[in-house]
Every structure is written in C-alpha cells, then in structure tokens.
Amino acid sequence: MSFQACADIVAKGDPDRFAAAMAAPVAARRVLFPLYAFNVEVSRAPWVTSEPMIGEMRLQWWRDALEEIGAARPVRRHEVTVPLAEVLHAPLASQLDELIAARRWDLYTDAFEDTAHFQEYLKKTGGRLMWISAHLLGAHVTAAPAIVALGSATALVRFLAAVPDLEARGRIPLIDGRKGAVAELAKT
C-alpha cells in the first residue's frame, strides 16, 4: 500500500503517463501516481475477463472504493486505494466515479451510439483524469474547460492507436464501423 506500488503499476501499465509523471517534481508525482494507477486498474478491469458481468463487478468494486473515499470512511485496503485516499477529496472522488461509469462501454462489443457518445466517453475518461490531476496540482477551476479538452484530445489519440486491437477483440470502436459513419466522425 504505497506510493511506490502505484508508480510500479503506472510504469508497467501506462508507460507514457509514467514518463510524463517522472518529468514532474517529486511532490507532484505523489499525487499523479495514485491517480494514474487508479486509471490503469479501472481501464484494464474490462479486459481481464471475457465475461461482462465479472468486469461489471470489478468496476463496481472501484466505485465502492471511491464512495468510501468520498465519504471520508476507512478505505478498503489495496495498493492503489490507500494512496489514492491520501490525495483525493470528496468532490473529485465523484468525478472519478464518472470515469468508471464511462469505462462500462469497454465491457461490451456495442458501437458508440453516435459522435456525441464517443466524445462524452473521451471527456469522461481522458479529459476527466487530466482535469483532476491538474486540479490537485493547483490548477484553477477556470482552466477546467481547456484542460478537459486537452485530456479528451489525448484520449482520442490513445483510442485511435488502440483501434486495431479493439477490432481484433471483436469490438466496434468507431461508431458503427460503416465508412460513412467513420468519415462523419472524422469531420467533428
């Protein structure tokens, strides 16, 4: 249950974010690594099983942990939850819960409903994570729209890089897969 365990999870599961965090001052890393380790754990939950119900249970476990953090109750012991509880406060815990809710899409093979659904997914995953990270490091709330937009754009790049793997796993990552729908998505 340590900062080092979080850093190790990020180094293995998200090397790009690990490198970015290592460029930050040590005090900032103590905030970033628990958040990024949480993101690694949540983002891989749907992929460690072929059963959506098991994935739902894993995501619910994380939602329950965030509820404990948000209510300032003792948090379940886990190598990520304990350090996360040290840096996260109630309003931000509920925002991370929205990230988990968005990750439910990863459990199923359904396409995004439309462009708005896809953009909301990017906003609630990468955008939300970047905003919470920046806010905990001192960013003012007035910067939130720009930070969320940057995080969403970063999530888009990561998502597009993952499209071949998603398709290989039987997912329909870009709207409904039709060329016309994908072309329309590219215009937005």
Q: Please count the structural domains in the chain.
A: 2
**Higher local confidence (pLDDT), 180 or 149:** 149
DSSP 123-147: IIIIIHHHHHHHHHTT--GGGHHHH
Domain range for 122: 109-188
Same domain flag for 3 and 59: yes
- Measured CA to CA, the distance from residue 101 to residue 76 in angstroms comes to 20
Same domain flag for 114 and 28: no
The last residue of a domain, from among 108, 131, 164 = 108
Task: With cut-offs at 50, 70 and 90, classify the pLDDT of residue 49.
Answer: confident
Same domain flag for 136 and 95: no
Same domain flag for 85 and 127: no
User: Ramachandran region of residue 28, left (φ > 0), alpha (ψ -120 to 50) or beta?
Assistant: alpha
Same domain flag for 93 and 143: no
The last residue of a domain, from among 108, 134, 152 = 108
The last residue of a domain, from among 108, 125, 145 = 108
Which range scores top for mean pLDDT: 60-69, 89-98, 110-119? 60-69
Residues recorded for the chain: 188
Same domain flag for 117 and 177: yes
φ, ψ for residue 74 (rounded to 5)?
-55, 135
Tens-digit pLDDT profile for residues 122-169: 999 999 999 999 999 999 999 999 999 999 999 999 999 998 888 888
Same domain flag for 183 and 149: yes
Q: If you average pLDDT over every residue of the chain, what do you get?
A: 91
Task: With cut-offs at 50, 70 and 90, classify the pLDDT of residue 70.
Answer: very high
Same domain flag for 41 and 69: yes
Same domain flag for 11 and 99: yes
* pTM higher than the cut 0.85: yes
Same domain flag for 36 and 104: yes
Same domain flag for 78 and 42: yes
Tokens 């329909």 label which residue? 172
Residue pair 104/59 in contact (Cβ under 8 Å)? The answer is yes
Residue-wise burial string across 8-36, b where 16 or more C-beta atoms lie within 10 A, e elsewhere: ebbbebbeebbeebeeeeeeebbbbbbbb
For residue 50, what is the DSSP state?
A: S
Task: With CA atoms as reference, report the closest residue to 47 among 129, 130, 165, 152.
Answer: 165
Share of the chain above pLDDT 70, in %: 92
